[in-house]
């Protein structure tokens, strides 16, 4: 992720899980990782959903990076989900020089603004703050905080497909006492139900820039997510850069686990959509953070 492109590249999208439609049925885990595009749906009240993974990024022959993003999603209310995350351990190789440091810390909250008759989110926002825990001396961060706001929506496409779209705007730290710069990001992820509760997805994403003087980034990624029972899921995928400062290639994989006991959301709480699209880590645009949680 030469600099921050891993954020993008790791934007590989994936994560869509089938949801039973019958009331009272046990619902399988529905993670937001590992793609950049997030679903508007929230974690059930009473659950703590931990999503983690590993992303390897190759910018070119001389620039490579590895990150281990993790996030805890906490169901607080029907309309509110708290999030605490980190980019985990990061390593970067730049022209033969190696650097390793702990990644930035992210604090956010997914807020439901609109819901369908079943009381499920159809339009949500995710304000997020990325705190500069990454070592600037190791050239793995700017040393300044990032502030982003993501708008999320989604809809079913026929009986076996689903699409989610996100738009993010952020004030990204430049470091060195310089002013924050403005960043825009747009992404869309379409998922298709496979066997059982497994899903495959395809995502496109574009980011205006990831450095103060950087170029736009465009990339595509694809992957699968496979639930194991109702409380765990594993995922994997690859990404390819299309233009600008996008990384040439990235590969990722991870797992998610739900802890705790879900509490009833009220009428229609179990009437989940047939399937849900991939999510994110995502966590929104930024400069020093890995979006693929």
pLDDT tens digit string along 127-181?
999 998 865 655 677 788 999 999 999 999 999 999 999 999 999 998 777 899 9
Q: What is the percent of the chain where pLDDT is above 90?
A: 58
Answering whether pTM is above 0.85, one says: no
Contact 245, 211 (CB under 8 A): yes
In the beta sheet, which residues pair with residue 169?
Answer: 149, 184
| Coil/strand/helix, residue 46 | coil
Residue among 55, 80, 77, 51 nearest 67 (CA): 55
Fold of 5-260: Porin (2.40.160)
| Cα(271)–Cα(19) distance, integer angstroms | 9
Predicted local distance difference test score (pLDDT) of residue 283? 41
In the beta sheet, which residues pair with residue 241?
Answer: 219
| Cα(40)–Cα(115) distance, integer angstroms | 10
| Cα(121)–Cα(79) distance, integer angstroms | 8
Question: Tens digits of per-residue pLDDT, 42-58?
Answer: 999 999 999 999 999 99
Q: What is the percent of the chain where pLDDT is above 70?
A: 78
| Cα(55)–Cα(27) distance, integer angstroms | 28
Predicted local distance difference test score (pLDDT) of residue 160? 93
194 versus 270: which is more confidently predicted?
A: 194
Question: For the CA atoms of 99, 102, 107, 112, what is the dihedral angle to 10 degrees?
Answer: 70
| Cα(40)–Cα(42) distance, integer angstroms | 7
Residue among 12, 219, 233, 264 nearest 119 (CA): 264
Predicted local distance difference test score (pLDDT) of residue 265? 57
Residue among 256, 153, 278 nearest 203 (CA): 278
pLDDT band for position 286 (cuts 50, 70, 90):
low
Predicted local distance difference test score (pLDDT) of residue 99? 84
Please provide the distance, in angstroms rounded to a whole number, between the alpha carbons at the two ends of the chain.
15
Length reported for the chain:
293
């Amino acid at each position: 992720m030469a600099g921050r492109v891993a954020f993008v590249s790791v934007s590989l999208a994936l994560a869509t899980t089938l949801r039973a439609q019958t009331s009272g049925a046990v619902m399988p885990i529905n993670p937001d990782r590992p793609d950049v595009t997030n679903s508007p749906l929230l974690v059930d009240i009473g659950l703590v959903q931990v999503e983690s993974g590993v992303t390897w990024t190759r910018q070119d022959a001389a620039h490579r990076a590895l990150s281990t993003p993790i996030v805890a999603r906490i169901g607080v209310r029907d309309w509110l989900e708290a999030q605490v995350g980190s980019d985990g351990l990061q390593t970067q190789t730049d022209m033969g020089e190696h650097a390793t440091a702990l990644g930035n810390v992210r604090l956010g909250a997914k807020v439901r603004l609109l819901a369908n008759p079943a009381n499920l989110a159809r339009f949500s926002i995710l304000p997020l703050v990325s705190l500069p825990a990454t070592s600037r001396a190791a050239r793995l961060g700017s040393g300044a905080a990032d502030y982003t706001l993501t708008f999320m929506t989604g809809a079913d496409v026929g009986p076996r497909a689903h699409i989610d779209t996100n738009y993010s705007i952020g004030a990204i730290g430049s470091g060195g006492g310089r002013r924050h710069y403005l960043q825009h990001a747009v992404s869309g992820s379409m998922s298709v139900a496979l066997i059982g509760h497994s899903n495959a997805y395809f995502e496109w994403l574009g980011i205006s820039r990831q450095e103060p003087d950087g170029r736009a980034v465009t990339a595509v990624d694809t992957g699968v997510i496979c639930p194991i029972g109702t409380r765990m899921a594993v995922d994997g995928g690859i990404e390819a850069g299309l233009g600008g400062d996008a990384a040439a290639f990235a590969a990722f994989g991870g797992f998610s686990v739900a802890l705790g006991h879900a509490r009833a959301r009220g009428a229609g709480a179990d009437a989940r959509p047939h399937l849900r699209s991939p999510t994110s880590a995502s966590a929104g645009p930024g400069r020093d953070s890995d979006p693929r949680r």
